[in-house]
Amino acid sequence: MNNEQTSFCSLFISHFSLSTKRLFSALFLLALLATAVRETLDPDMWWHLRAGEFVLQNGLPRQDVFSFTVPHHAWVTHEWLSQLFMWLVYRAGGFSGLILVFAGLIALTFWLVYRVCAGRPYLAGFVTLWAAFAAAIVWGVRPQIFNLLLTAVFFFILEKVRAGANARWLWLLPPLTALWANLHSGYLLGVVLLATVAIGEAGQRIFAANFTNFTKKKILIRVIREIRGEKLFPVTAVSFLAAALNPAGPGLWLYPFQTLGSPAMQAYIQEWQSPNFHNPIFWPFAGLIFLGVLAWVFGGRRPSLTELLLFLGTAAAGLLSARHIPLFAIAAAPIISRHLADALAGTRFDLLVDPPQTAVPRRLALLNWAVLGLMGLAVLAWTAVKISGNETAVAARYPAAAVDYLETSGLAQQPGYNSYNWGGYLIWRGIPVFVDGRADVYGDAFLFTYLQTFQATPQWRQPLAMYDVAYVLMERGSPLTAVLAADPDWQEVYADGLAQVFVNEKLTINNEQ
């Protein structure tokens, strides 16, 4: 190496010195990106894309436009902005673009969580990565990712203000709530979060106050003063009002409660059910709860009222519905890291909490850059493998060949009964569906009618007759296909390793005529 090259390397290292701490942070971010890269397998992604296309071409739909069963049902398109975003990304970059963009949104979400965790980079990285694994059950190309991102943004702003940043930053939250209300009805998470923190902060000051020799009147005045003085209460109120700035207007205030109160959704949609801890995908969630309890037991201080409300409230929500586990992961990570930092301070593990700043030798800096480069190449290779295998993964999950048969045989133009999980894919292929993942559009009464056939009850024929169903497309080996195979009025006309198609010849002939 000549003198000029040596001088350049020395200059580069001096200006871009990569310490071990910085290397860890960079590797942590790359690990987030790698784990967030997922194939486009979410069953609702397909109709979200078509909805985004419809919004771009025709404006917001007011009634269902994808099914032949409930075209008169109202459709509150509370995710219209997410759907439009997804469609525009797809038009620009196809499924590869969707995979990359949503992986970036997920990585950004947990990078924000990491930035408000104590003990950066090592302890914070460990806790945040654990939280990310717990939340990974809902990752994918879906509007719900905006719920995670905006929840993390809210926490980021709240934690920064509590740490001493200008309280004016809180007034970013109402416009963010308005944006959130157009991305997903989960905006209520943000409002509840603000209210919880406001109650916790005011309550903490009230409980800490010395009311010795106070009359009941003075105590009441002091409590009112503390509540009025909590700056988050007006921010919460304005944020709630700002959520009405959406196409559905104030009606969206009630929409989340209608979803949460749906018996059919709660009983039959897996994400809305309680986590089954026999399934290993829920073990990181259980471990995160246990880690939080350990941090409180061995930490040097008691948790504040705000921390108790956030941790216990979101943990309870996650235990009631797996869909809410990511909310707990985002809320709990900063709390756990603070108390773990207290527990480890002054012990032999103190380096994980507060590693010293040391000069980086030239050789170590070069080695760190080499490690980072190799990790970057590994992540690129992993991403390329995921993207190149996406079509194969989709074909293994969705009935592409069966739908090809429906189109070539002419059955696609006739009313058919389909699997709930495949409805979105049929919409993507331009086929009117019996049902799909928009449970809120169909309503409980219709969903129970659908299940009457799907579960092969004694009355399974009634819904098929009610809607003049000419064919059935169902997962191979399901209870319904066994019943159809034994019924003389139905004949199997297509089968592969994934799907089966049965036709009612009488109805098919009548529909053709």
Check residues 105 and 268 and name the one with the higher pLDDT.
105
Q: Mind listing the pLDDT tens digit for each residue in 254-264?
A: 877 776 667 76
pLDDT of 135 over the 90 cut: yes
Instruction: From 416, 430, 431, 512, select the one nearest 472 (Cα to Cα).
Output: 416
Mean pLDDT of the chain: 89
- End-to-end Cα spacing for the chain: 84
Minimal CA–CA distance to 122: which of 335, 356, 288, 370?
A: 356
pLDDT at 427 exceeding the cut of 90: yes
Q: What does the buried/exposed string (b/e) look like for 57-77 if buried means 16 or more CB atoms within 10 Å of the residue's CB?
A: eeeebeebebbbbbeeeebbb
Q: Are 322 and 282 in contact (CB under 8 A)?
A: yes
Q: CA nearest 134: which of 252, 238, 281, 30?
A: 281
Percent of the chain with pLDDT over 90: 73
Per-residue pLDDT tens digits for 207-238: 766 556 666 665 555 555 555 556 888 999 99
On whether the CB atoms of residues 415 and 511 are closer than 8 A, the answer is yes
Any idea which of 10-19, 427-436, 479-488 has the lowest mean pLDDT? 10-19
What 443-447 contacts at long range (C-beta under 8 Å, 24+ apart), as own/partner pairs, is 443/70, 443/73, 444/262, 444/263, 444/264, 444/265, 446/69, 446/70, 447/264, 447/265, 447/268
Structure tokens at 84: 């439009």
Q: Which residue has the tokens 């507060």?
A: 354
Structural contact between residues 473 and 419, judged by C-beta atoms closer than 8 angstroms: yes
CA–CA distance, 177 with 242 (Å, rounded to integer)? 6
**8 A C-beta contact, residue 76 and residue 252:** yes
Give kind and range of the element (H or E) at residue 20.
helix 20-36
- In the predicted structure, residue 2 carries a pLDDT above the cut 60: no
What value, to the nearest 5°, has the Cα angle with vertex 108 and ends 106 and 109?
Answer: 65
Using the Cα atoms of residue 177, residue 288, residue 312 and residue 342 in order, give the sign of their dihedral: negative
- The predicted-structure confidence for 342-388, as pLDDT tens digits, reads as follows 988 878 777 777 777 666 777 878 888 999 999 999 999 999 999 99
Q: In the prediction, which pLDDT does 212 show?
A: 60
The DSSP string of 271-311 is GGSPP-TTSGGGHHHHHHHHHHHHHHHHSSSPPPHHHHHHH
pLDDT value, residue 450 = 96
What is the sign of the dihedral through the CA atoms of 114, 118, 121 and 123?
Answer: negative
As a whole-number percent, the residues of the chain with pLDDT over 70 amount to 88
Return the closest-CA partner of residue 134 out of 10, 343, 238, 277: 277
Task: Tell me which residue of 223, 222, 179 sits closest to 199, measured CA to CA.
Answer: 223
Nearest to 172 by CA among 186, 157, 160: 157
Place of tokens 């941790």: 311
17-74 pLDDT, tens per residue?
Answer: 678 888 999 999 999 999 999 999 999 999 999 999 999 999 999 999 999 999 999 9
pLDDT tier at 12, thresholds 50, 70, 90: very low
CA distance 287 to 279: 13
Mean pLDDT computed over 194-215:
76
Distance between CA atoms of 83 and 31, rounded to whole angstroms? Answer: 27
